[in-house]
Structure 1
Amino acid sequence: MIRILQKDNRITKTIFAVVIGAAIVTMVITLVPGIFQDGTTTQQGVFATVRSPGWLGRLSGDSISIQTADVQRQAQQQMQQQNLPPFYLQFVMQRAGQIQVERAVLQREADRLGLQVSDDDLKNFLKSGPYSQYIFPGGQFIGEDQYINFVETYFRLPIADFEQQVKSDLEIQRLQALVSGGVSVSDAAVRADYLKTGTKVKFDYAVISAASISQTINPSDADLQAYFKANSTRYASAVPEERKIQFFSFDSSNLPNGGTAPVSDAEVAAYYAAHQDQYKTQEQVKTRHILITVAKGADAKTDAAAKAKAEDILKQVKAGGNFADLAKKNSDDPGSKDQGGELPLIPTAGLDPTYAKAAMALNPGQTSDVVRSQFGYHIIQTEQKQPASTKTLAEVRPSIVEAIQAQKSSSAATNYGAQLVAEAKKDGIQKTADAHNLHAQTTDFLGRSGSISSLPDSAALISAAFGAAKGAAPQVVSTGEGYAIFQVVDVQAAHAPDFASYKDHILTDYRQDKTPQLLNEALIKLADRAKVLNDLHKAAAEQKIDVKTSDLVGRDAQVTDIGAMSGAASVAFTMAKGAISGPINEGANGAVLQLTDKQEPTADDIAKNFAATKDKLLDAKRQEAFSVFVGTLMDRYEKANAISYSKKPASPLGL
């Protein structure tokens, strides 16, 4: 075969190339994992993987993995921010995961288009972007250690992850700019939009409240009983579960030997040695200063002028001028100038490093030369210095004794609680309480939101009781000032109420169900009558309804008893002067309007707001264009099976 290939025969070589190529493809299909995946992945700890669509993406094996831990962390942060209950986690995780998948798809597309962000791009962004004031204050890098501390404190990420996240954000921004860069809006569209948003109206309006309609609904007992029966499913568990609890409690006064124990010198010394950081005081300094600010990025001429002004003030100080008076007259620090430039005793770690160094170099009463900091030029007068130090054992001994005694008392209470609960498991609540001269008691039936007046804090006990089975072994819980040993002695399951005891609730529900329809009927009646009379005031007077008058308002306004003018009341902007609206029903209140004035923007108004309106429209259209692009791109990736999701774990809720 080698001899054949060595011959100058192009057809033969082509045939062999095809054969060999087919063999390679067959091997790839057989050996490359996921070449014919069905959109799922079984990688441990991976929520989803994203690769390039098409054969090259399958062959290269190059993919972006979205880690389940990252998705869960983002979901939990959203849960905390929105104060959502735990059962929402599955929903929030799916949405958070989808967002990260979309980001991965966009990043891969940006990579394909050569929009990668370099290390230099990242550095320039950190130096001039929104983080610059923290990472490069005054144009100077804060140092590696402080940089790491800043990122870990505010972003809770390792440096490498933070920088990769910023690069990814910048790359997607570049892609968005590329996709939406050609979007434009016509001048006519800008004028039309401002004509719409800039129009203001004034109107009279008659309001009918849902509350007033509700009070007119007075069904008979027969009506309510029929309603109660028809809605039996709704009321099947209207009375929530309740529990009866037997318990006794104790606090430090009930502990054997009063819960107190002597504290030895050795214990005090050991505590002091183990808590040295608590007894250290930072270096601090109290100063007055006069600040002549220099704006960030100011040119050399501006900087020189500020320095010259500071040097002139320094000459006045050295010539005997009153420092406080000169500070009040000249300082640019609004926080201290009215106090004659005086600052409180401050840890030097919280000051600008240059300022702190200069202040600590002075003795109390001395004044510095002109000092340059990131804020500008200072003249500093030191009033008091306090070096870093550690309080002696003698100074802090009383507080240490108190802390150790508190620890011993807490430990004694915990041990006593464990002893009592063990006895209660053996002998029962009542016998155990009697044996230790403690008072056992049994509550009435309590709901989850109930309380026990004899305890300082009964929330933990009631919560634990609703997690325990009837007759289960006694448990011990904290009561805020001590502990309680308890047992659930009876459970009353959630059940339907009897009509008589629940009649008031049924009446409220009946009214809530009937009110919307009756409110709408009343509004229709008012609107129809007003249109017949062509006068809202007369129609409202006939029905004994008050009429109010609005201010001249735009679409972004709020009107009393109507609410946002961007809602149902926005119909007012489409009405002619004198016209009467149909029913405007916002739920809590309904209204009928009669337009009394309408003012559209003038040509001058449109011209003044043209640029801002155009920017707003452009931004909206760019967002719309990019959203369409993202949707199309995601559809392409999904159809190509370029997104592989892990098989979802079974949800305890069956989601």
Structure 2
Amino acid sequence: MIRILQRDNAFTKVIFALIIGATIVLMVIFLVPGIFDNGAAGDATLFATVKDPGWMGRLSSGTPVTMQEVQNLARQQAARQQIPPAYVQQLMPMLMNRAGQIEVERQVLVHEADRLGLQVSDSDLATFLQHGPYADALFPEGKFIGQDKYINFVEQFGLSVTDFETQLKIDLELQRLESLITGGVTVSDAAVHTEALQAGTKVKFDYAVLSGDDVKKSINPSDAELETFFKQNAARYANAVPEQRKISFFAFDNSQLPGGAPAVSDADVQSYYNGHVAQYKTEEEVKTRHILITVAKGADAKTDAAAKAKAQDVLNQLKGGASFADLAKKYSEDPGSKDTGGELPMIPTSGLDPAYAQAAMKLNPGQTSDLVRSSFGYHIIQTEEKHGAGAKPLSEVKDQIKAQLVSTKAAAAAQNYAGQLVAEAGKNGLQKTAEAHHLQVTTTGFLKPTDVVPSLPDSTQLMQSAFVAKKDAAPQMASTGEGFAIFQVADIQAAHAPNFADAKAQILDNYRSQQVPEILQAQLIKLSNRAKELHDLKKAAAELKIPVKSSDLVGRDAQVPDLGSMGGPAAVVFSLPQGGISAPINTGTIGTVIEVNEKQEPTADDLAKAVAQTHDKMLQEKRNEVFGIFVGTLVERYAKNGGIVYSKKQQAAQQSPLGQ
């Protein structure tokens, strides 16, 4: 090879130059971060960009996940979770981060589905609209409602026809991907039988309860032991007494502003309303009851038909005069509403399944629908109250706007006044400035960062600012909620370890807490072993002076005092024979040992009925598990190989413990 390159051959030199050039280009692609990100990382309108992983993906622009898309999804999630509006803004960073990850994951799945050739054609979409969950709304009695009504149907979801159909195609494509990945998933008949048997089994039992709090109270170390513990954990207590600061300040509220409270005219209110009318728009919303017979995603025609028949039977009973609430409690498969007779709160229709929303809005209050097919299954809907989209009139919000404008103007005036006082105090000192404006200087004692200043409406900002300021630095201002405080840090006491005597109570509590898990487990083991030796839990518990309680006949959906849900750690009782005694069940704060007194298994007929339902449930859970693992692995591969490029803001947010 060396000899070939040494020859004076122009062709050889050209080839060699091309090889070197290609190598340099590849090194740039792979080794220079963000070289082909096309500005995605710095674009404030983007949450992230999703590309094909690997070097080919780095040459493409990718698919953007916009901040607007993420914000829309976050608001929809807040509505579905019924988060009070007062808390939505506070929780928005967390909601945005979660919604952004959902959108990124969705785009990764779309890229993978495209790679596998699972795209949905126009013909596929037309078939879905005609025969899927939207069929009753768009093709009543098999006839298309017409293009104008179709546009109206789509617009109620805030989408154009193009966007609506694009989203449906993506949804169907992702369903194909999920079916491809999970199509081979099975559950064994033995596992289904065991699960159905345990789910239908009821037990009555005795249980001895050991409380972690009681164990904690029984731990009484000597002072010598506590001092040894204190010395052994010196690093833990090194800064146990936090830094404390003295703060000198004077404060004013809005009633003390020079010139008094600012005035707001009707013209000001009208102008604000005209410029912010979008704030007063109201969404279309509806309050309903419903009875749901679920149909699992991807269910076959036979399963769908069986669910529809069951729903029709319930509807017939309703038409025959039966109570809607009673039927909902008996038949509905929506766990969130069945116990309240199918009652749902007032919900914006944008947060509901489209078919459900359209059917509910068509009904007048008090009317009940026929069967409605949604993506969840078959519903019977009763509309109780509904409101169309619109805007609140000025008369309804006038007082609110006026109060807001007064508050805004007062806040601005207070901030300007505080700025003047800070400048004046910087020249003349806090005391002289306060006296000149008929205000009084206060100096606190030593305060911790979590302490409050009782004389202020809200001292949060003052404490935060004071604990980053330097001693005797120039005066600063901090909002008090109803005005401002002008302050300086008068003295600082550094964080330090406490004296043993001063911290003895806390050291004792820490010592006990550290000992509890080990002692609790040891006592549970002793109890369980002794109960098995005697074949009698009550006798063993009496020997050890541990109280014993008895349960009712309960199933896995029951709640038992001290044990909580029987679907949790205590579920082991359903696998025990009658007379069986459990191993220790330790939740950390509560420990128990159980002896089964009575065991009632389902009849053969009940078990046979439960097996089919259990099979579908277990199969869907297994499919969800398999697909979840696939999604996690896929997203990790995309992220590792440059397929996900987050904006710089999101990169910083993901390093925060709170996500944003």
Q: Same fold (TM over 0.5)?
A: yes
- 2:562 maps to 561
Q: How far apart, CA to CA, are the structure 2 residues paired with 1:233 and 1:219?
A: 21
Mapped partners of 2:192, 2:152: distance in 1 = 50
**Residue 31 to residue 195, structure 1, CA distance change in 2 (3 Å):** same
Q: How does 1:404-483 map to 2 (within 5 A)?
A: 410-483=411-484
| 2:40–2:645 CA contact under 8 A, matched in 1 | no
Name the TM-score, length of structure 2 as normaliser. Answer: 0.63
Aligned-partner Cα distance in 1 for 2:588–2:448: 32
Counterpart of 2:363, as a letter, is F
CA distance in 2, matches of 1:36, 1:400: 55
1:134-153 alignment runs, 5 A limit: 150-151=157-158
Instruction: Tell me the secondary structure at the aligned position of residue 484 of structure 1.
Output: strand
Out of 178, 198, 206, the residue aligned to residue 200 of structure 2 is 198
CA contact under 8 A between 2:558 and 2:565: conserved in structure 1? yes
Greater radius of gyration (CA): 1
SS in 2 for 1:591: strand
TM-score normalised to the size of structure 1? 0.64
Q: Say whether the 8 Å CA contact 1:199–1:600 is kept in structure 2.
A: yes
- Contact 1:49–1:645, Cα closer than 8 Å, also in 2: yes
Give 2:336's aligned residue.
none
Letter in 2 for 1:518: I
Find the aligned partners of 2:241 and 2:218 in 1 and give their Cα distance.
28
CA separation of 1:212 and 1:391: change in aligned 2, threshold 3 A: closer
Give secondary structure in 2 for the equivalent of 1:497: coil
Q: Matches of residues 116-515 of structure 1 in structure 2 within 5 Å?
A: 116-118=119-121, 150-151=157-158, 164-185=166-187, 187-257=189-259, 259=260, 268=265, 270-271=267-268, 274-275=271-272, 277=274, 374-375=362-363, 410-515=411-516
User: For residues 392 and 197 of structure 2, what CA distance do their matches in structure 1 show?
Assistant: 69
User: Alignment partner of 1:491: what SS?
Assistant: strand
* Ranges in structure 2 where 5+ consecutive residues have no aligned partner: 1-11, 42-47, 278-320, 326-347, 349-360, 368-390
Mapped partners of 1:183, 1:201: distance in 2: 33
Give the deviation of 1:182 after TM superposition.
4.6
Instruction: Quote how far apart the aligned CAs of 1:449 are.
Output: 2.2
Aligned residue in 1 for 2:370? none
Give the alignment of 1:512-527 within 5 angstroms.
Answer: 512-527=513-528
Deviation at 1:492, TM superposition (A): 2.1
Deviations 1:15-61 (A, max 9, x none): xxxx9xx99x97995798789746964313255653388xxx94996
RMSD of the alignment, in Å?
5.5
Which amino acid is 1:240 matched to?
P
Q: Aligned partners of 1:110 and 1:400: how far apart in 2?
A: 50
**Range that drifts further, 483-492 or 188-197:** 188-197
1:521 deviates by 2.2
Tell me whether 1:108 sits opposite 2:111 in the alignment.
yes
Deviation at 1:210, TM superposition (A): 1.3
Give the Å deviation of 1:464. Answer: 2.3
What do residues 334-390 of structure 1 show as CA deviations (whole Å, max 9, x unaligned)?
A: 9xxxxxxxxxxxxxxx9xxxxxxxxxxxxxxxxxxxxxx9337999xxxxxxxx999
| Post-superposition CA distance 1:236-293 (Å, at most 9, x none) | 1112222211111123443335x267x7xxx94753662464999xxxxxxxxxxxxx
Specify the SS of the correspondent of 1:234. helix
Structure 1 pair 583–444 and aligned structure 2 pair: CA distance change class (3 A): same
Distance of 1:260 and 1:229 partners within structure 2: 59
Taking only the aligned residue pairs, the percentage that are identical comes to 47
1: CA distance, partners of 2:534 / 2:40: 72
Distance 1:638 1:35, change over 3 A: farther
Q: Given the superposition, is the C-alpha separation of residues 104 and 537 from structure 1 closer, same or farther in structure 2, using an over 3 Å criterion?
A: same
Q: Residues 147 and 463 (structure 1 numbering): CA distance in 2 closer, same or farther, change over 3 Å? A: farther
**Residue 584 of structure 1 contacts residue 590 of structure 1 at CA under 8 Å; is this kept in 2?**
yes
Compute the displacement of 1:504 (Å).
0.6
CA deviation map 1:95-151 (0-9, x unaligned): 988866654453234224442234676688789978999999997878979966854
SS in 1 for 2:219: coil
CA contact under 8 A between 1:39 and 1:643: conserved in structure 2? no
In the TM superposition, what is the alpha-carbon distance from 1:650 to its structure 2 partner?
Answer: 8.2
The change in CA–CA distance for 1:400 and 1:451 in structure 2 (over 3 A counts) is closer
**Structure 2: which amino acid aligns with 1:471?**
D
Q: Helix, strand or coil: the match of 1:172?
A: helix
Aligned-partner SS, 1:250: strand
Matches of 2:401 and 2:579, distance apart in 1: 81
Report what 2:384 is aligned to.
Answer: none
Inter-partner Cα distance in structure 2 for 1:406 and 1:637: 49
Q: Which moved more, 1:229-238 or 1:452-461?
A: 452-461
- Structure 2 contact 471–492 (Cα < 8 Å) conserved: yes
The residue that corresponds to 1:579 in the other structure is 580
8 A Cα contact 1:239 1:497, kept in partner: yes
Q: 1:461 to 1:110 in 2, by over 3 A?
A: same
Preserved contact between residue 198 and residue 575 of structure 2 (Cα < 8 Å): no
